[in-house]
A and B are shown apart, each in its own frame.
Chain A
Amino acid sequence: MDFRLTEDQRALRAGIRELLAGRFDRDRMRAALDGGGDIGRELWRELGTAGLFALRLPETAGGVGLGLPESVLAFDEIGRALLPGPLAATQLAAGVVKGAAEGEAVVALAEAGRPVGHLAQADALLVLDGDRARLLTGGVLRQVAGEARPVRSLDPGTPLWRVPDLAAYDGEPLPNGARVRREGALLTAAEQLGSAARSLESAVQHAGQREQFGTPIGAFQAVKHLCAGMLVRAETARTAVYAAAVTADPVEIAGAKLLADDAAVGNARDCLQVHGGMGFTWEADVHLHLKRAWLRAGQWLTAADAQEALAADLA
Chain B
Amino acid sequence: MDLAYTDEEEEFRARLREWLTSVLPGLPEKPDPGDWPGRRAYDTGWQRLLHDAGYAGLNWPADAGGRGATPTQHLIFLEETERAGAPYVGANFVGLLHAGPTIAAEGTAAQRARWLPPVLRGDEIWCQGFSEPDAGSDLASLRTRAVRDGDDYVVSGQKIWTSHAEVADWCELLVRTDPAAPKHRGISWLAMRMDAPGVTVRPLRTLAGSTEFAEMFLDEVRVPVSHRVGAENDGWRVTMVTLSFERGTAFVGEVVACRRTLDALAAEARHNGRWDDTVLRRRLGRLNAEFRALWRLTQWNVSEAQSTGGVPGTGGSVFKLRYSHARQELYEAAAEVLGAGDALDLDREWVLDRLSSLSYTIAAGTSQIQRNIVAERILGLPKGR
Contacts and interface: CB of A to CB of B under 8 A. Distances in A.
Interface of A: 1-6, 9, 69, 200, 204, 207-208, 215-216, 218-221, 223-225, 227-229, 231-232, 235-237, 239-240, 242-243, 245-247, 251-252, 254-256, 258-259, 304, 306-315
Given A1-B303, A246-B2, A315-B266, A221 B289 contact: no
Contacts of B383: 219
A280 B131 CA distance: 44
Contact of B285 (A3, A223, A309): A309
Contacts of A308: 281-282, 285
Given A4-B303, A232-B322, A255-B293, A204 B3 contact: no
Contact of A258 (B75, B283, B289): B289
Given A1-B4, A306-B285, A240 B292 contact: yes
Interface centre among A229, A236, A256, A304 (most CB of B within 10 A): A236
Given A2-B303, A256-B289, A306-B285, 4 more contacts: A4-B1, A200-B379, A218-B381, A240-B293
B262 A314 contact: yes
Contacts of A312: 285
B300 interface: yes
Residues of B contacting A: mostly? helix
A229 B371 contact: yes
A9 B1 CA distance: 8
B372 A252 contact: no
A236 B318 contact: yes
Given A5-B1, A239-B296, A245-B1, A304 B384 contact: no
Shortest Cβ-Cβ A-B pairs, 10 listed = A219-B384, A255-B289, A311-B285, A314-B266, A310-B285, A307-B285, A307-B282, A228-B371, A315-B263, A218-B381
Contacts of B267: 314-315
Interface of B: 1-6, 9, 72, 75, 262-267, 281-286, 288-290, 292-294, 296-297, 299-300, 302-304, 306-307, 315, 318, 321-322, 368, 370-372, 374-376, 378-385
Nearest to B298: A239
Contacts of A225: 368, 371-372, 375
Contact of B293 (A229, A231, A259): A259
Contact of B288 (A5, A69, A237, A314): A314
Given A224-B375, A239-B300, A243-B296, A3 B321 contact: no
A227 B4 CA distance: 33
B379 A204 contact: yes
A7 B380 CA distance: 26
Contacts of A9: 1
Residues of A contacting B: mostly? helix
A221 B384 CA distance: 7
Contacts of A311: 266, 281-282, 284-285, 288
A254 B370 CA distance: 29
Contact of B3 (A208, A219, A243, A254): A243
A239 B293 contact: yes
A281 to B, nearest CB: 23
Contacts of A204: 379-381
Given A228-B379, A231-B378, A1 B293 contact: no
A225 B321 CA distance: 11
Nearest to A247: B3
B3 A221 contact: no
Contacts of A307: 281-283, 285-286, 289
A4 B307 contact: yes
A239 B304 CA distance: 12
A229 B325 CA distance: 12
A314 B293 contact: no
